[in-house]
Structure 1
Amino acid sequence: MDLQDVEAAAGPLAARFGIRPPTVTSGRVPKSIKRGVRAKVWWGSRLGLVIDPAAERLEQDVLKGELASMMAAFTLRWTFITRFVLALGAALICEFAIMTLLADTPAWAQDLIFYAGTAIWVGLFIVLYRDLIYRSDRKAVEVVGAGPLLAVLEAERQHPSNSWFYLWALPSADRRAERITPPVIPSTTDAP
């Protein structure tokens, strides 16, 4: 699969998401990105894709699911940034208020408050990032259906991402699949 194939797949898909077609360039992506497709988002309003030689072995469904997932996250990015800034602001205000109230406490207690606040902030970031992943999965399924995204999740199961960020913040492929597929409710007419 070469750059023209990716551009050909990305153009109509971008139109379905209501965004401009992404710029597609060839380059290296981090080793933790196993499928070889990386989204680059600058402050502008256009998504950029970097395609690694590893992407050449992707099946069409996996590529479509990868692109849909990235485009869905791109369309939801400002909601994520807004929530993140508000959560960070609330955490910093609370931490500042506590530090001000406890200004006469020993240094070790202030350090403890600072580290606890940092841990809470990291936890908030993980929760918000997972929410972004789940929401972009749902949006991708609305646009392209569940098949391509399930193909991406199957590829993730076979070759899991291995960076510390993915281990902490990215939900497992199984959990993501559970969230996008409707539960099977047994029919009462099938019972003997």
Structure 2
Amino acid sequence: MDLQEVEAVAGRLAGEFGIRPPKVTSGRVPRSMRLGIRAKVWWGRRLRLVIGPAAERLEPEVLEGELASAMAAFTLRGGLIARCLLTYGAAIACQLVLLALVVSIHPSWGNYIVNGAIPLWVALCIALYRGFVYRSDRKVADVLGASTLFPVLDAERRLSSNGWVHLWALPHADRRAERIAILRLADETAEDHRGLLDRLSDGRGCG
């Protein structure tokens, strides 16, 4: 799939997500991004997509799912920034209070509190990022349907990354698929309930 075709798909999906069509360019994509698409979601008011050679070999449904994930992440980026500020602000406040209490009792223990906080920051970062991925998946499922994501997850299983961010922070494809399946089942159940209520209401109205 060439760059113009990618632009056409991206433009159509942008309309579904209510955002401006992204700027699509060809360029270098880190090897850890095995699908060959790099989404620059954090800066600017417009999503930018860098398409590498690997993306040209993607099946159309995989490409669409990956682009949809990038657009969902772009629409939700403000929420992640707010969560990071609140979470790390609360963690820093707790650490300062604990540090003040410990130092007042045993001054030499202050270094243990500071050094022990490093794993906490890493764990918080991973938890926040994974939550962001799950919310992005939910956004795609709400806008386009859960089936849009399954081809992407299948591709990630086949082309697993060796990048440390993907190994440690990105939820496994199986776990994401399980959550998406649960969301789809919940949506179908809710739709069935709404349909039943509508039929009951129509029946009462006719009576």
- Using the size of structure 1 for normalisation, the TM-score is 0.90
Q: Look up the match of 2:126.
A: 126
**Partner-residue secondary structure (3-state), 1:103:** helix
Distance 1:43 1:177 in 2: 29
Q: Look up the match of 2:103.
A: 103
- Contact in 1 for aligned 2:69/2:140 (Cα 8 Å): yes
Q: Look up the match of 1:26.
A: 26
Q: Look up the match of 1:85.
A: 85
**Partner-residue secondary structure (3-state), 2:25:** strand
Q: CA deviation at 1:125?
A: 1.5
RMSD over aligned Cα atoms: 1.7
Structure 2: gaps spanning 5 or more residues = 186-207
- Contact in 1 for aligned 2:64/2:148 (Cα 8 Å): yes
Corresponding letter in the other structure for 2:11: G
Distance 1:27 1:42 in 2: 18
Change in Cα spacing, 1:42 to 1:136, as seen in structure 2 (3 Å) is: closer
Distance 1:43 1:27 in 2: 18
Where in structure 2 are the equivalents of 1:136-175 lying within 5 Å? Answer: 136-175=136-175
Q: 1:77-98: CA deviations, max 9, x gaps?
A: 1111100111111111111122
Q: CA deviation at 1:42?
A: 4.3
Where in structure 2 are the equivalents of 1:6-85 lying within 5 Å? Answer: 6-85=6-85
Distance 2:126 2:174 in 1: 18
Distance 1:111 1:2 in 2: 55
Distance 2:107 2:100 in 1: 13
Distance 2:26 2:114 in 1: 43
Q: CA deviation at 1:106?
A: 4.3
Distance 1:180 1:110 in 2: 44
**Partner-residue secondary structure (3-state), 1:13:** helix
Q: Which has the larger radius of gyration?
A: 2
Q: CA deviation at 1:147?
A: 2.5
Q: CA deviation at 1:116?
A: 2.1
Structure 1: gaps spanning 5 or more residues = 185-192
Change in Cα spacing, 1:125 to 1:42, as seen in structure 2 (3 Å) is: closer
Q: Look up the match of 1:190.
A: none
- Contact in 2 for aligned 1:29/1:38 (Cα 8 Å): yes
Q: Look up the match of 2:199.
A: none
Corresponding letter in the other structure for 2:56: E
- Contact in 1 for aligned 2:41/2:73 (Cα 8 Å): no
